[in-house]
Amino acid sequence: MLTGKRILLIIGGGIAAYKSLDLIRRLKERGASVTPVLTRAGEEFVTPLSVGALAGVKCYRHLFDLTDEAEMGHIELSRAADLVVVAPATADLMAKMAGGQADDLASTLLLATDKHVLIAPAMNVRMWLHPATQRNIATLRADDVRFVGPNEGDMACGEYGPGRMAEPMEIVAGIAAMMGDGPLAGRHVLVTSGPTHEPIDPVRYIANRSSGAQGTALARALRDLGAKVTFVTGPARERSPGGVDIVRVETAREMLAAVTAALPADAAVFAAAVADWHVTNASGSKMKKDGSGKAPAIEFAENPDILAHVAGLKKNRPALVVGFAAETDDVVDNAAAKRKRKGCDWIVANDVSPETGIMGGAENAVTLISATGAEEWPRLPKDEVARRLAARIAKALGQETAEGTTDKGD
Ligand code: CTP
């Protein structure tokens, strides 16, 4: 996937530096070569020996290291790469980058390079949110520095919030996307995900139990294969993936508008659990009890069927349209009928009966239904279902390119 790509990896001084060891392994597994540079602070967290051993080459450390200069000068080092990656990028390193400082090897390389730079910030949440860091982020973005993460979550320092370094595979995906690599490179894939919320009044809404986990995993898997992903998501519990274009919506009607605006796409996958109805007499102000004991009469109208709408488009219909079918009875038969009714190419059927624990759970058991039949997959983690489905999508789109036809029955 990254065969022959040369990555200059600068490891800053943060607790997340340990993840950079795994990042080196993942990059090498994919055929990239990694030239590591460890900052002085980085050495407090990982050793030059372990970094160099995993990279299989010398770990560069000091600006005035004459041996290094004899082998390769710092200017050459900064230019001999296809991409410069900083992981973890500390608040200090980002400040140096934004200010154009060059007082050690890492900052000098970053100032001297003529290559794209991808940074994976990692720091305490307060440091990330500090106006000084936010100013530096704006400067770096304006300088065309690409970011992956940070993620939100529990931090090593015991606090919670944005500041956790992106996971190694998220950084690999960011690198692959910047390299225009992967079987879905140059392809645009649209994914809908999560539930929709249909307001009753400003404080109440109708929703469902979808966590957005399967759609999120799918967006990540497609991104990891190099696709440009537009991720249209309702208000989901699951954290949205990095490295994709995120469009946040609330209602089914907003989702339809966002999907239509995102077209054309090579493939579209509809993993959202869209509410079937919206409230036509939703109130603009909070509904109050009137003391009579009478419940308010809520009236419904059917929502647009986004999947059926896109599958039926004459113009801009994606070459591959994939729906999901959440069923509780006669799963395969109902899903096969749904595929025909909605006009999509594939449907991913799953049994969402409460006893399966699938809705909102970590696993999924699906049957992939196409024009040529039904294929039952074993119960798998949602991430794995996503990876398999993404690979099938890549294959179907690849066949379309290679043979001028889409084997949608695959
Ligand atoms: N879907 C959609 N827009 C809707 C309803 C559903 O795009 N308004 C999509 C879902 O994202 C999913 C597929 O259609 O890919 C099937 O959703 P599901 O809820 O199983 O089907 P329904 O259309 O609600 O059919 P039924 O109520 O008969 O089960």
Per-chain mean pLDDT for the chain: 90
Protein residue with its CA nearest to atom 8 in ligand 1: 305
Q: Which of 53, 57, 80, 157 is catalytic?
A: 157
State the pLDDT confidence band at 400, using cuts at 50, 70 and 90. low
Say what the alpha-carbon torsion angle 176, 241, 215, 154 is, to the nearest 10 degrees.
Answer: 130
Q: Whose CA is nearest to atom 28 of ligand 1?
A: 338
Residue 401 has a pLDDT of 52
Longest dimension (CA), the chain: 89
Q: Which pLDDT value is given to residue 406?
A: 44
Cα–Cα–Cα angle for 103, 104, 105, rounded to 5 degrees: 140
How is the chain split into domains, by residue range?
6-178, 188-403
Residues with CB under 6 A from ligand 1: 192, 252, 270, 272, 274, 276, 303, 305-307, 323-326
User: Looking at residue 404, what is its pLDDT?
Assistant: 42
Could you tell me if residue 118 is left (phi over 0), alpha (psi between -120 and 50 degrees) or otherwise beta? beta
Q: Where are the beta strands (DSSP E) in 216-365?
A: 228-233, 245-248, 267-270, 277-279, 300-302, 320-327, 346-351, 363-364
Indicate the CATH number for domain 188-403. Answer: 3.40.50.10300
Question: What SS3 class is residue 357?
Answer: coil
Same fold, 6-178 and 188-403: yes
| Pick among 3.40.50.1950, 3.30.342.10, 3.40.640.10, 1.10.3720.10: CATH of 6-178 | 3.40.50.1950
**Three-point CA angle 341, 343, 348, nearest 5°:** 85
The residue with greater pLDDT, 62 or 371, is: 371
Mean pLDDT, residues 339-347 taken together: 97
Alpha carbon distance 283, 60 (integer Å) = 64
DSSP H stretches of helix in 251-347: 252-262, 306-311, 331-342
Question: Which is the closest atom of ligand 1 to the Cα of 269?
Answer: 15
CA dihedral 320, 321, 326, 332 (to 10 degrees): -60
What mean pLDDT is predicted for residues 329-343?
Answer: 95
Instruction: Tell me, yes or no, if 344 is annotated catalytic.
Output: no
pLDDT tens figures, 150-206: 988 777 777 888 899 999 999 998 898 788 777 898 899 999 999 999 999 999 999
| Ligand 1 mutation target, pool 307, 329, 369, most atoms within 8 A of CB | 307
Residue nearest to atom 9 of ligand 1 (CA): 307
User: What letter would DSSP give residue 72?
Assistant: S
State the average pLDDT over residues 72-87.
88
